Amino acid sequence: MTIIHAVREANSSGEVYLLLAAYLERVRLGVEMIDPFREIVTAPLVSMEDVKERTLQLYLMLQAVSKSLDDNGRVAVKEALHVFGAGLDRLKSLGSVSEGNAREAAQLAAERPKQEW
């Protein structure tokens, strides 16, 4: 199961936030993280508004890396955009605006052992 499928199948907003936080942790530990990603992946998720803001940042980032013809950056940003888009859609479908779930999930993701996706 891919991260996107896991997000789409999440049963609660807390699970969505946990999956997004785990994805951000994976990107943060990535060897070839592009510079524009640094701001997006280092700040903790705190609400659905934060997920919306990061999705918007990713759209803008996609335009920039596409214009620069950076294929590796474009692929990485598109993947992140798909993950955050799926997360945002799932949070909306669950009717979640809980900030507590986002903070708790970020803390759990930081504490759990690192896994390969």
Q: For 12-71, what is each residue's pLDDT tens digit?
A: 998 999 999 888 888 877 755 566 677 777 777 878 898 999 889 889 888 888 888 878
Average pLDDT over residues 83-94: 93
Phi, psi for residue 30 in degrees, rounded to 5: -65, 145
pLDDT given at position 90 = 94
Q: What is the pLDDT of residue 117?
A: 45
Q: pLDDT tier at 6 (50, 70, 90 boundaries)?
A: very high
29 vs 1, 21, 38, 47, 94, CA distance in Å? 21, 12, 11, 23, 29
pLDDT of residue 10: 94
Domain spans, the chain: 3-111
Q: What is the pTM of this model?
A: 0.75
Please tell me the predicted confidence (pLDDT) of residue 19: 93
Number of residues written out for the chain: 117
